[in-house]
Structure 1
Amino acid sequence: MPPSRIRVQSRRPSSQAATFLVPGTPVFVGERKQDQASLHLIHFDHERLHEVEGASLADCQERLRAHGVTWVNVNGVHDVGLIDTLGDLFGLHPMTREDIADTSQRPKWEEFPSYGFMALKMLGVNETTREVEIEHVSLILGSNWVLTFLEDDGDVFTSVRSRIRSGNGRVRKQGADYLAFSLIDAVIDHYFLAVEWTGDEIELFDDHVLNNPNHLRIEEIHHFKRALLVLRRAVWPMREVMGAVMTSEGGLIRRETHVFWRNLHDHAVQVIDLVETCRDTLASLQDTYLSSLSNRMNEVMKTLTIISTIFIPLTFIAGVYGMNFQHMPELSWRLGYRAVLALMVALAVALMLMFRRRGWL
């Protein structure tokens, strides 16, 4: 069974709505993926955990005053009013609010006096639709709080929530910078899954190209190339983003967590290497397709040439005795017809044996 064509669910959002506006004005740019924005609040320290699904702004404000780490996850960046309200509560710069609402934002890291802002892309594989889904994520790291903004309620943070709820690992014993590291680590781990899944699909497609190189395959090859281009745009900037975090001097990243962030940088480089490997495989796949198509055409031409070579002398003999001249001595032979047929059959068999001996058949 041939592989399904992978698709990357990523539409280029229109930014016309933000044209000619004052810089720092939050305007939603993208595709609205849910009706109403919602908040999910988790507040914890090494002993206590407080979690509120569908939290209010009052809940967030109350937990900011308490001891521990506060994580507020916002599902739905289309609600610019909510972004502005949270911006006032957490002291976010107007340019940060604008970047949160812009889902076309390129991955980056920016530092402000009281927080750091990171824009990145989240990848996920939808096995049902055979799609690699891309979602824009904004992460803001403060001294004792973390804000994450997602386009909808689907994310890759389930493992992080499980560790927080169970108290396993370091996340409950560390600060907000370790929580931010854990969230980004979950995102990059899914980069590996998405890119490796894409690579497996390309390898499977490579086998089918060798077995059946037809003219429809070139369209599918270009589809793979476009999909990898979208993945590369999402993954490639993460190396410089992690590098910028590693050189941060704002005090948001503590010395004891530097080693974890350095590991994220290494993982980002590994993902980029995987993407480049897939691109190289796809480039060689196109060469393989063209070679296979050429070889198949050569086989067809060789078969037609052999058939033509066999029938050329037979056609010549039939043409000579089809000229109907009155004084052709063979026309009066009683066994002339049978003799000519026998000659033609013998000649055809002799040519086929010669071709087989030379390895052409």
Structure 2
Amino acid sequence: MTRFITKQKHTKHVIPGKPVFVGSQKEENTRIRLIGYDEDEIIEIELQTISELSNYLNKYEKTWINIDGLHDVELLREIGKLFDIHTLILEDIANTGQRPRVDIEENYIFTSIKMMFLDENKHQLEAEQISMYLLKNILITFQEKQGDVFEPVRDRLRNKKGRVRNYNVTYLKYCLLDLIVDNYNFLMETFGEKVEDLEDKILLEPNKNILEEINKNKIELNYFRKAIRPAREAISSFKDFKTDLITKKEQPFFNDLHDLIQRSHDLVENYKNMLSEQLTVYSTNVNNRLNDIMKILTIFSVIFIPITFIAGVYGTNFEYIPELTYRYGYYAMLGVIMLIVVIMLGFFKYKKWF
């Protein structure tokens, strides 16, 4: 199964604006969670149907609705009707291969971004699409599966930590994006340690395992770049567009968010260059090692060429050769041959030529 490309065969010949789930289903059932809050109180509940949302929307000053699981297209349509979400946006939410982007309009801001995480079993990076639809007092988030990096924000809401309960839902959206970008930086720093650890290994023992590790790191880095480059462009939109949904009080936070993701992007480019340089150094070391091997083998060849020539001319066909009358001479010769082979193989092994 490819990680770099999400197959779009299910969207072929589909009418534009019709939501079609694209990707692998990561949840058996869709989960709907609601957090309603203001400065003084908070409620956190799990709903069974979209119709239940209407009972809570006007009870609290600010509302965060989180949907886990994107395969239920009918549920997405219900949400679209309830909050007047454009069908093209619903289509993008259902398409997990959607490129990260931001749509800023007068009454809403739609954001699609990739949340990266490390699969411990496969030892590789994986991505999950996160979509956010921001209205004046409501934030709706769509995730492919349960479990995320958002729990610290929920903890701040529950325990009234920081300013998240005092600010509007735009600040809540910033907090969620900030966690995603912070996770980018954490993953890149973890990845970078592996890349930098290869430096000494390449110089000391350039073997096939090192080459495989370099190539694996390049694949993971390219996968990371696939998500972070468009994400950086999308987050830059918060600096370029002006909207009433982002006030002067929240704007500095989004500016800082751009600086954070720029750092992640710079790390990606730096490690990309490092891997290219490591591959060059590896190739140079291997070529130098091969040259050293060929030099030693050439010396051996030069020594034995005249000996072989003399033996070839005379054929050792002399009348008196003491070993010819020795009863075990043949076996002694075989023993000498095997001893030479073992000594040469041991020498090659000692030199790590194979």
TM-score band by shorter chain is 0.7 to 0.9
Cα shift at 1:210: 3.4
Pick the aligned partner of 1:204 from 180, 189, 197. 197
1:156 matched to which residue of 2?
A: 149
Q: Match of 2:347? A: none
- TM-score normalised to the size of structure 2? 0.84
Query: Which residue does the alignment assign to 2:330?
Result: none
SS in 2 for 1:256: coil
Aligned residue identity for 1:80: V
1:302 correspondence with 2:302 = no
**Residue in structure 1 matched with residue 5 of structure 2 by the alignment:** 12
* Unpaired runs of at least 5, structure 2: 322-354
Q: CA deviation at 1:136?
A: 0.7
Is 1:286 the counterpart of 2:279? The answer is yes
Secondary structure of the residue aligned to 1:228 is: helix
Query: Aligned partners of 1:222 and 1:275: how far apart in 2?
Result: 15
Aligned 1:1-361 pairs, distance under 5 A: 10=3, 12-54=5-47, 56-215=49-208, 217-316=210-309, 318=311, 322=315
Aligned residues: 321
Q: Which moved more, 1:130-139 or 1:273-282?
A: 130-139
* Paired position in structure 1 for 2:351: none
Please give the per-residue CA displacement for 1:103-149, whole angstroms capped at 9, x wherever unaligned: 11101001234211001000112334322121111011110111110
Letter in 2 for 1:175: N
Q: Among the aligned pairs, what percent are the same residue? A: 36
Partner of 2:340: none
In the TM superposition, residue 10 of structure 1 has moved relative to its aligned partner by 2.8
Q: Following TM superposition, where does structure 1 have runs of at least 4 consecutive aligned residues deviating by more than 4 angstroms?
A: 215-220, 316-326
- Per-residue Cα deviation, 1:264-317 (whole angstroms, up to 9, x for no partner): 000111100000011001100110110121122122112212322333444455
Distance 1:223 1:68 in 2: 49
The aligned residue for residue 327 of structure 2 is none
CA separation in 1, counterparts of 2:299 and 2:199?
31
8 A Cα contact 1:13 1:31, kept in partner: no
Which stretch shows the higher mean deviation, 102-111 or 63-72? 63-72
Partners of 1:55 and 1:158 lie apart in 2 by 21
Partners of 1:9 and 1:134 within 8 A in 2:
no
Rounded to whole Å, the distance in 1 between the matches of 2:263 and 2:215 is 25
Alpha-carbon distance, 1:239 to partner: 2.3
Q: Which letter maps to 1:199?
A: G
Name the aligned partner's letter for residue 9 of structure 2.
Q
User: Are 1:156 and 1:186, in contact at CA under 8 Å, matched by a contact in 2?
Assistant: yes
For residues 198 and 32 of structure 2, the distance between their equivalents in structure 1, rounded to whole angstroms, comes to: 42
| Closer/same/farther in 2, CA of residues 9 and 154 from structure 1, 3 Å limit | farther
Q: CA deviation at 1:229?
A: 1.5
TM-score by length of 1: 0.82
Relative to structure 1, the CA distance from residue 125 to residue 320 in structure 2 (aligned partners, 3 Å threshold; closer, same or farther) is same
Query: What is the rounded CA distance, in whole Å, between the counterparts of 1:168 and 1:304 in structure 2?
Result: 72
Aligned-residue RMSD, C-alpha: 2.3
Paired with 1:38 and 1:117, the residues of 2 have a C-alpha distance of: 21
